Structure 1
Amino acid sequence: MDLLPHLYDCTHCNVSIYSSWRWNREGCGVGAGHDHGQQVMRAGEKHRGRLWAAFALLAVFMLVEAVGAWLTGSLALLSDAGHMFSDVLGIGMALAAITAASRASRDGQRTFGLYRMEVLAALANAVLLFGVALYVLVEAVRRLNEPTEVMAGPMLAVAVAGLVANVVAFLLLRSGAQESLNVRGAYLEVLGDLLSSVGVIIAAGVIAVTDWWYADPIMAVAVGLFILPRTYRLGRAAVRVLVQAAPPHVDVAAVRAGLYAVDGVAEVHDLHVWTLTSGMEVASAHLALDAGADLARVLTAARQLLHERFEIEHATLQVEPEGAEGVCHGAHW
């Protein structure tokens, strides 16, 4: 398999350098103008059909729970409806982001497409979840001081229906949870909503048997406290991508050491590793070569190292042959 480097001028350093080709998952070389959408299959797009099914199902039962909460006077059921609303909105944002990303290749000015839309949607989803949890906690504290009578029978029936809907949505989203940040966010929300539905069922049962009205706000507090840690984790993951931090599973020092160990590499500098969106890790680096080093061999070895050891599929390597005039120091930020 031939490796065909491109020669171009470095405007910052006034020296000639080489830029490696990038390689897709099948090992085929692709040029500098290659569309990212063709290089890496969008993880979220593969599960679009399941997302739509979960969206429709949860939207219907969100309305059922909201009406049920109004009729029964149950705060726990209302909190579950609010949680389900966040599920629906989160899945809706995921679908919008996936659609936007799939169309991004038509605009030549968006060289990375609209892949970050998925991450922005996940962050907005986390903020929404936090708001829902905060409202539930405040309202629950108020009801602990002034217990409100609820209709246990209808409350139980609606909670059971909501549980069934969440189980179905959970099964629909499970397969994509490890591939897409937004699918994972929706999956975690549905999982939390499933557990909160179980809590509402328990509260309804307690009220039906004992007429202990405190069970409703206490369960609402439990649901609110359950939402917060998941909200934090989802928001942290989204922010990590947005600030272009290295992926948690990639040791940047190990990447640097691995590239430095490639035969013919004299120095590694200006190394950057970040996540563009779910399942798309990106790297760039400057590789200074030893005298007489074979450019094609260095690029092939570096590419294989990043692909096989660190699972980085998209890497742009700037190679600086020994003896070139000037030195590329890169940007200092």
Structure 2
Amino acid sequence: MLIALLLTAGYAVVEAMGGLYTGSLALLSDAGHMLTDAAALGLALFAQLVARRPASARNSYGYARAEVLGALINSLFMLAMVGWIAFEALGRLFNPKEVDGLGVMAIAALGLGVNLVAAWLLAGDSHNMNSRAALLHVLGDLLGSVAAILAGLVIWATGWKPIDPILSLLVVVLILRSTWALVLQSSHMLMEGVPAHLDLRAIGHTLAEQKGVQSVHDLHVWHLGPTRVALSAHLVIESADSWPRLLAAIQGLLAKDYGIDHVTLQPSWLGMPPRGKVVALAALVGGKPEHRQHEHDPAHGEHAGPHDHHH
């Protein structure tokens, strides 16, 4: 990532000077994009270093979410850059400017080579959300370089200047979808939403189907970091004696079938609370899952009852 940062930042300056010399918006937008990418790579590198710090008394979960936060900030930067390129491109459609097509092709071809090297360096760690956000910036640059080469070729061969802003808008459209998807994914993680690859109700049913479990409620599943998932739940069980065996079985099941290795379970074997609102995701009755819900008692608040579990 450091090598990709140095390559991108160095060539952003070269491309900006080339864009000013040739008058090409495609080159200037690509240079601005590369400069944003350099900042994005720097932020991603910083986030990775922070994420490696161990847990502390103030941050008991550690700093793994620094990478998610870095991905969100980088995505927002990307959206801002996309907006600027679109604004400039629309202006040039109505007011075309002179562009040196041959110079644009030469400078953009060098930029394409730099972006290919940077993308290759980052592709090996693309499973990491933070690295994927940085890679997305570089791939956007790569598309920008291709667009600039095509724009320079058309202008050099035909003199048709509108191709420069048109191809810039095309790059904007190509980048926008993947960037917005990353914004949604990273914000969902920061809001402690259920991971997209997991089904909360299916997990609840799986837990309730274990022998000795009567019901499951207050079930929560969320991301601790880009790759680690946590779960907490309140289980009503048949007897206290069965809990050690049941706990070990459930922990193994969650790790094997769902990849969840951070599990917190609160058992109760005195029955469901007589008052208050408690939603049982699933309860085994006659061997089949059944949904239960106790009515809300205003006198005891939203979650009344002696066995309630707050999160």
Find the residue that maps to 2:234 and give its secondary structure. Answer: strand
Could you say what the CA RMSD is over the residues aligned between the two structures, in angstroms? 1.9
1:330 aligns with: 309
Q: Indicate which of 237, 248, 267 corresponds to 2:196.
A: 248
1:278 aligns with: 226
Q: Which structure carries more relative contact order (alpha carbon 8 Å, separation 6+)?
A: 1
Structure 1 stretches of 4+ with a deviation exceeding 6 A read 323-326
The code of the aligned residue for 2:195 comes to P
User: CA–CA distance in 2 between the matches of 1:324 and 1:202?
Assistant: 69
2:164 aligns with: 216
* 2:47 is the counterpart of 1:68: no
- Tell me the alpha carbon deviations over residues 53-112 of structure 1, each in whole angstroms, 9 at most, x when there is no partner: 21111111112211111111110111112222232222211111121222353x321101
- Tell me the alpha carbon deviations over residues 192-246 of structure 1, each in whole angstroms, 9 at most, x when there is no partner: 2212211111111111111111111111221222222122111101111111110
Which stretches in structure 1 are left out of the alignment for 5+ residues? Answer: 1-50
Once the two structures are TM-superposed, the CA of residue 324 in structure 1 deviates from its matched residue by 11
User: CA–CA distance in 2 between the matches of 1:111 and 1:275?
Assistant: 15
2:41 aligns with: 91
User: CA–CA distance in 2 between the matches of 1:65 and 1:132?
Assistant: 16
Find the residue that maps to 2:224 and give its secondary structure. Answer: strand
Q: Indicate which of 213, 216, 223 corresponds to 1:268.
A: 216
Identical positions, percent:
39
Q: Indicate which of 59, 65, 70 corresponds to 1:110.
A: 59
Q: Indicate which of 264, 274, 291 corresponds to 2:239.
A: 291
The question of whether the paired residues in 2 share the 8 Å contact of 1:87 and 1:186 is answered with: yes
User: CA–CA distance in 1 between the matches of 2:81 and 2:25?
Assistant: 12
1:154-303 alignment runs, 5 A limit: 154-178=103-127, 180-291=128-239, 293-303=241-251
The question of whether the paired residues in 2 share the 8 Å contact of 1:259 and 1:305 is answered with: no
User: CA–CA distance in 2 between the matches of 1:189 and 1:170?
Assistant: 9
Once the two structures are TM-superposed, the CA of residue 156 in structure 1 deviates from its matched residue by 1.0
User: CA–CA distance in 2 between the matches of 1:150 and 1:276?
Assistant: 50
User: CA–CA distance in 2 between the matches of 1:213 and 1:203?
Assistant: 8
Q: 1:153 to 1:323 in 2, by over 3 A?
A: closer
Instruction: State the number of aligned residues.
Output: 280
1:29 aligns with: none
User: CA–CA distance in 1 between the matches of 2:262 and 2:41?
Assistant: 28
